[in-house]
Amino acid sequence: MQVIILGSGSPLPDPARAGPSTLVRTAVGDLLFDCGRAVLMRCAAVGSGAGAIRGLYLTHLHSDHITDLNDIFTMRWVMSLVPNPLPVFGPIGTAALVQATEAMLEPDIGYRLAHHDDLQWRPAATVTEADGGVIFDEGSVRVTAAPTDHAPVRPTLGFRVDDGDRSVVIAGDTVPCAGLDELCAGADMLVYTVVRRDLIEQVGLPRLTDVLDYHSSVPDAARTAQRHGVPTLVLTHLVPAPAPGTEQEWFDQATAHFTGDVVLATDLLTLDVTPPRRR
């Protein structure tokens, strides 16, 4: 199993960081977690694409995590030679989001149906809304969801992918919570959204400091990984994006609370999820 950070950025546009998105390569194909801006451009860089996605998993419906849903929905349709509905998994509200996306695209759908004689079906998605539990189970691969805490954004989910004896948790945007603890127990890798509390507090703007109450700090993520003995912690969705030369500050904040391997995400970073190596 491989984890590919397609987008390590945040709502703030960054020329080097696409929007939040993580690809997990498993024995049954590519699973995509969130779909921030430029996700299909990053997929193209690693030999994937809308048609290859076995499932799109949404942690929550904040705009930066769903910006390019319309692109995936459209490209899967127009680049498939037969009907190929997009499997989408997410919290309650996901079905309404997909329906609204299709409605927004209605003019484009009409144009393409009128122009391409061999395109004789509409785009489609199969939506599974969940609040927890196993939501995908095929072959050696199982995806489990659990509720997280990103209030006032509700509901939100974290996900765990198990592929044989390997496992990775995609935390999404959350503060430490029981649902995340449930997913992390015995996991090999934790991909976790983090913010730098110290830097944001220095700026002092209310609209920035507001994010501190519903995102995890670097120490929060580190303590969660340490508590469950997770060997590898991947810090992503970095707010603010690390300025060149400051990367060590992020490592230092994590390693003060965590004795495993810390990885600072960049776009297209590819990590092998190795068999269990417990601390």
**Mean pLDDT score, 95-111:** 98
Which pLDDT does position 155 carry in this prediction?
Answer: 97
Within a domain: residue 233? Answer: yes
Which CATH number is 53's domain given? 3.60.15.10
The band of 122, judged by pLDDT with boundaries at 50, 70 and 90, is very high
In total, how many domains does the chain have? 1
pLDDT above 80: residue 108: yes
What phi, psi does 194 have (nearest 5°)? -140, 155
Which pLDDT does position 204 carry in this prediction?
Answer: 86
Within a domain: residue 278? Answer: no
Tens-digit pLDDT profile for residues 83-94: 999 999 999 999
pLDDT above 80: residue 276: no
- Write out the two tokens for 84: 């190929």
Within a domain: residue 43? Answer: yes
pLDDT above 90: residue 258: yes
Tens-digit pLDDT profile for residues 161-212: 999 999 999 999 999 999 999 999 999 999 999 999 999 999 988 988 999 9
Within a domain: residue 52? Answer: yes
pLDDT above 90: residue 148: yes
Residue written as token pair 């910006």? 67
Within a domain: residue 279? Answer: no
Within a domain: residue 231? Answer: yes
pLDDT above 70 as % of the chain: 98
Domain that holds residue 222: 2-272
- Give the residue numbers marked as catalytic: 64
Which pLDDT does position 274 carry in this prediction?
Answer: 85
**Interacting residues of 61 by C-beta distance below 8 A, sequence separation 6+:** 90, 91, 93, 94, 97, 153
pLDDT above 60: residue 278: no
**Mean pLDDT score, 50-75:** 98
Within a domain: residue 139? Answer: yes
Which pLDDT does position 6 carry in this prediction?
Answer: 98
Within a domain: residue 144? Answer: yes
Which pLDDT does position 81 carry in this prediction?
Answer: 95
